[in-house]
Amino acid sequence: MRPITKTAIAALLVTAAPIAASAQNVAIAYGLSFSTEYVSQGFELSDGASLGAYVEAAASGAYAGVYAQTGDPDLLGASTEFGAYIGYGNTIGSFSYDINYNYYWYDDSDDDFTEIVATGTYALTDAIYASLSYGKYLTTYEQSSISATVDYYTDYPGLTISGTYGQVESDFGFTDYNAEWNYWSLGASYTVSDNVTIDLTYYDADDGEEGLGVTEGIAVVSVMIDF
């Protein structure tokens, strides 16, 4: 099963690029990640450890980047997922927004996909942020997703607690077919230094009677190194 969106990559990889740079001051960020599993929207896509890498450039709210993430050919449909993306984000008072266009492709496979994702985030307090994201495939087949996330930046320096609940609908390219599943996660991340973050997250999902093979619950440890 291939990844459905870039949600797990965004969480693991796209974490270091400042978007409040001037047009003359392009910020370049790049990094590596290690995870005990690669999980995306309720699906386990690696049979054990997964490695990732990204490079991103940002200026005046606009950003663009590329990434790679390893998986298991029997679960991902390829040994490596690649992606390229471009987007823009801004903050207005307590509200911030982000919209990005994504292109995914895979080694050992002719499959490729494009997706647009829009996210709005509201600062409930100085420490609690609520986000709502909507994603839609633009090619290949009909698929859409929606998810809600709450982030709590605790009083303990560097410690953040996050929870996400999402739903995906897809026809997987078949006529008169529509699959639907829900997924959720709860975890904590700790910023060890300016360059290193450790994350522990529990993932679970439910596809009702669909039999899609979603995860039945797994804890994942990730280490992100940003430069």
Strand partners for 164: 149, 185
pLDDT digits 0-9 by tens, 116-151: 999 999 999 999 999 999 999 998 789 999 999 999
Both ends of the chain: CA-CA distance in Å?
32
State how many domains the chain has: 1
**What is the pLDDT confidence band of residue 24, given thresholds at 50, 70 and 90?**
low
Per-residue pLDDT averaged across 50-69, rounded?
97
Please state, rounded to an integer, the average pLDDT across all residues of the chain: 89
pLDDT at position 176, please? Answer: 87
Judge whether 2 lies within some domain.
no
Judge whether 173 lies within some domain.
yes
Tell me if 142 sits within 8 A of 136, measured CB to CB.
no
Contacts of 144 (CB under 8 A, 6+ apart): 134, 135, 136, 137, 168, 169, 170
Judge whether 1 lies within some domain.
no
Judge whether 181 lies within some domain.
yes
Residue 147 carries which side chain, given as an amino acid letter? Answer: S
The yes-or-no verdict on residue 158 having pLDDT over 60 is yes
Domain span at residue 159 reads: 7-226
Tell me if 211 sits within 8 A of 195, measured CB to CB.
no
Q: What is the pTM of this model?
A: 0.86
The enclosing domain of 117 has a CATH number of 2.40.160.40
pLDDT at position 55, please? Answer: 97
pLDDT at position 172, please? Answer: 87
pLDDT at position 145, please? Answer: 97
Contacts of 44 (CB under 8 A, 6+ apart): 37, 38, 75, 215, 218
31 token code pair: 């990094």
Judge whether 187 lies within some domain.
yes
**What is the pLDDT confidence band of residue 193, given thresholds at 50, 70 and 90?**
very high
Beta-strand ranges (E) seen in the chain are 27-35, 39-40, 43-44, 50-59, 62-70, 80-92, 95-106, 112-123, 128-137, 143-153, 159-170, 179-191, 196-206, 218-226
